[in-house]
Amino acid sequence: MSKQIDSFLYQNSRYNGDFKPENLVFNSNLQEFTQKVSYICSLETAGKLTPEDSYQQIKGLWKELKRSKKQLGIGEQTFLEGDEGGNG
């Protein structure tokens, strides 16, 4: 796919959350996930994909998003953000 078509199909909205590189990457991955799920739902509604095919494709996309979250460390507390190792 050309860059122009790709940017048309997978538009990214402006990110307004906590600015960290990993958050920006995850947000981009999340937006791509939602766009692809929307396409799959439309194809299934139009009868171009079976419900099972749709489910399997969305399940695969979900696994990719989950792997991305884990690799980027989203939702994991770092030492500096946690209680710094103390018990109170």
Residue 57 corresponds to which tokens in the numbers above?
Answer: 């494709």
Residue 79: predicted pLDDT:
53
Mean pLDDT for 1-27 is 75
Inside any domain, residue 51:
yes
Instruction: Indicate the number of domains in the chain.
Output: 1
What is residue 16's predicted lDDT score, i.e. its pLDDT? Answer: 80
Task: State which residues form the domain around 48.
Answer: 19-70
Q: Is residue 12 part of a domain?
A: no
Quick check: is 42 in a domain?
Answer: yes
pLDDT at 84 over 70: no
Q: For residue 6, what pLDDT band results from cuts at 50, 70 and 90?
A: low
Domain membership of residue 85 (yes or no) is no
**Which residue, chain included where needed, has tokens 């959350």?**
17
- From 14, 17, 29, select the one nearest 69 (Cα to Cα): 29
**Under 8 Å between Cβ of 50 and 40:** no
Q: What is the pLDDT of residue 15?
A: 74
With respect to residue 24, please indicate whether it lies within any of the assigned structural domains: yes
In a domain, residue 23? The reply is yes
**24-78 pLDDT per residue, tens:** 999 999 999 999 999 999 999 999 999 999 999 999 999 999 999 999 999 886 5
- Is the pLDDT score of 88 beyond 50? no
Query: Closest by alpha carbon to 49, among 60, 62, 58, 40?
Result: 40
User: Is residue 39 in a domain?
Assistant: yes
**Is 38 a member of any domain?**
yes
- Which of 25, 29, 52, 31 is CA-nearest to residue 40? 52
